[in-house]
Structure 1
C-alpha cells in the first residue's frame, strides 16, 4: 500500500472514530449494555489501535493452542503462529483470521519463531526449550538444520542447562541464539551451524544479561547493523555489536519486555507483565528510531522525567500476558499471548 493512501485511510478512520465518540454525547438508553470489546481504542499519539479480540479465534477441537508464543509474516502476507500445542505447532493465518494450513507435532517447548529470507526463499528458525535445540525449517516444515546445546562454549555441563528462547539472523547468515531460560548467553553460529563465539551470560555487568529472552537484528542505522537483546528480568534491553561487544543499555522500567521487533524506524515489544505475574497486567510498548517510548497500547502513557522513562503500568484488561508482536504492512499489530487460557492471537488495528 502506498504511503499516501495509507495516510488517507488513517485520517478517514480517525474521522469516523470521532463521529462515533461524539454520538456518546447524545442520550442512549442502551449505553453500557452489550458493549462490544472490539470497540476499545488503545495507544497514544499517532500510534492508536482498535482492539479486535476475536480476530484469530478458531474451533479448538480442530485447531487447538496452548501458549501462543510468537508470530511472523511471510512475503505472501500470511501470518505464521508458533504454539507449543503439538497437534499443530505452526499455524498459517491469512489477514482476515482464516487458517490456511498447519504443521508440526514435535515441538513441546516451541517458543521462538524467526523468519529469514535467503536467496529469495524464506525459512523459519524455531527454538524449543524443552528439547534444548534450535531448528531451521522450510515454510512447509522440513527440518534443514538442528543446533544442539552449545557444549563448545565450555559453559554447559549438559543439555538440560540450555533452554533457548529466540534467534536472530545476521546479514551474512550467522545465527544468534538467545538462551533466555537457561544461562542467558547469546551463542553465535555460522549459517552452517558452526560455533563462533558466545557473550552475555547471567550477571549485573553491562555486558551481561538477566533472562536473555529475545534477540533481533537492528538494521535501522544505515550500514551498521547491531543486535538488540532483551534483559527481561532487569526490565531493560541492550545493544551489542555483531561480535558481541556491549554498546548501550536502555531501561524500560515497569516493563518485562519480550523479544524486540523492528518495523520501519520503530521498535516494538510485548510487555508480558508490569507488576504481578498473578494478574493480566501486560501491554505493548512502541519506541521511535532513537529508542524513546512513544506509545504503550493497553498501558499508561510513556512519560519521561529528567530524560528517564518512568515506570509503566497497564490500563484496563486488553491483554492476557502478551508474548510477542507482529506488525503487518498497514502497521496493524498481531499479538499472541502466553498462559492466556488457550486463547488465540488478537489484532490491534491501527487507526
Structure 2
C-alpha cells in the first residue's frame, strides 16, 4: 500500500475529513456481521473480502487505512467460532494497533454443549479478557446449543442454563434494603405534627419549614448497583478486575433461550441459549435459533437418526431374525463390564 503522491491524486482524499468520515460510515455499515478465520489458517485475519465488500477500501492506501480502520471495526460485530479464536485475535501482535481499541461488538458461538465445565471456563476467560481490555466494548454475545434427543448434550446444556440463570437473577435483583432507622428527619416530622394547627397556619416560618420537608420527602434516586454487581461477579469465579470493569461499564446482563425444530427427525429440536452483556439499541449478531440450525446443517449436514428409529424401521426387514441367527451361530459370547 503506497501513500498518495501528487501524480496520484484522489478526489476522496481531497474532501474535508468530516465528509470522508460520512462516506466511510455509509460504506462500512454491513448488513451481516464480519466473520473471522480460525488460527489454523495461516493467521487469524478477516476472510478475503469480495469485490462488493467495502473492506477492500482499507487496502487502497495507508492514509485511508489509518483514518478509517477504527470506524470500520467499531461499526461491525466480529463473530468467532471459539473462545480461543477470539483470545488469539486480540493477543496477536501482528494486527494493526488500532483494531483492538476500536472493537465494540464481540460474539462467540460455542457450538454443542458437550462439556459444561469447559464452556464455563471459556466464558470466564472471554469475559475477563474482553470486558477488562476493550475500552469501547458495547456488546459481548455468546451462544451454546444442544439437541433434545442428545442425552449427553442436553444434560450439559441444563447445567449451563442453571448456572447462567442464577447469575442473571443475582445480577439483576437488587439487594434487600436495610431496616429503617430513626433519624433527625423523622423526629422533626413528629415534632411538627404534634404542634397545633393554629400555630402552623399563623407563622410563615412554619409554613416554609413544612414546604422544605415536603421537598426532602421526595423519592430518593435508585441506588448504585456497581459494587453489588462486582461482588456477584467475583462469587461466580470471575477475576476482580473483570468484575470491577463490568460494574463500571454499565453493561446489562441478560439471557434468552430459543428453540427450532430440527429437520429430518421427529420430536427433535435444537435449543439455543444466548447470553448478552451490552447496552440497549445494539442488534444481536448471532441471530435466532432458526439461523443456528441452518448454519449447523450447512457446516456438518444432517446427523444420522437415532438408533431407536433405525431399529423400528428395520423390524419389517427381518432385523430380529438376522440378529437371532447371528447369536445362534456364535460358539461363545463374552460380556465385559467396566
Question: What is the TM-score of this pair, normalised by structure 1?
Answer: 0.23
TM-score where L is the length of structure 2:
0.24
Give the structure with higher Rg (CA): 2
More helix by share: 2
